[in-house]
Structure 1
Amino acid sequence: MSLSGLVLRYAAFAVIATIVNLAVQRGVLGMAFGLPEALVAGTGAGLVVKYLLDKAWIFGDRSRGLAAHGKRFTLYTLMGGATTMIFWGTETIAWLAWQTEAAREAGAVLGLSIGYLVKYRLDRRFVFADPVAA
């Protein structure tokens, strides 16, 4: 795959995961839960969607089986820890500064964009660098 194709595909998957994340957040907030619960639920939903897309379409990982998926997903989640803090931090700062839904979501999009750029490099180096035995 060409570099431009990879970038476009990765960006499209980031947008899909962001939409899933924000949709779940809106749903959780609509059920009268607070921002912390919405952040956790949205992040979890976006994480699963992004992992499945990245595994197959970005990194071409063909490993199969529960052990292989478990190891990859665990590493993928760990690499997302720091990048999640970037996302949560920018979303929370935007909310605290302006206290509007538009500001909160703009902060989320900014944080997710920065986080996904960092995460790609981490995933390429640590998660999908070597084959995992199934």
Structure 2
Amino acid sequence: MKRFIICILCLFAVISIRAQQVFGPYPMQYNQTIPNGYSKIVVFSTPSYSGGGIYLTESGSTTYLYGSVTYMSIWYYLIPSGIYTVSNILSGYKATVNAQQVSLGSSVNFTSGGYIEFQPLQLKTSTN
């Protein structure tokens, strides 16, 4: 029984160390200290405050960042620095990360900061 409890405790410790903590969103007026090894990622909302979101994966851990659907046009997150892979973009949106339009599988590098902007996709309408 002791071995079982020790194994569970070790597994919990490994999972806790492996988990990457994301802080935010914070309003731009909030001057949060940036922890060592983290990047400040500024997220711009759509002009209509309709949201948008992106899933970024790094070393098996997925981070979800999203745009505001309220009165804030811009806010920021603090995420661990690293090279992330775009694993999903919310349906109906396109995303620009660090001045580059991204798609599924794109790599993005956050070393000390960056920005993400969402734009709604223009739906094609047929005229008959």
Q: TM-score range by the shorter chain?
A: under 0.3
Question: Higher strand fraction: Structure 1 or Structure 2?
Answer: 2
Question: Higher helix fraction: Structure 1 or Structure 2?
Answer: 1
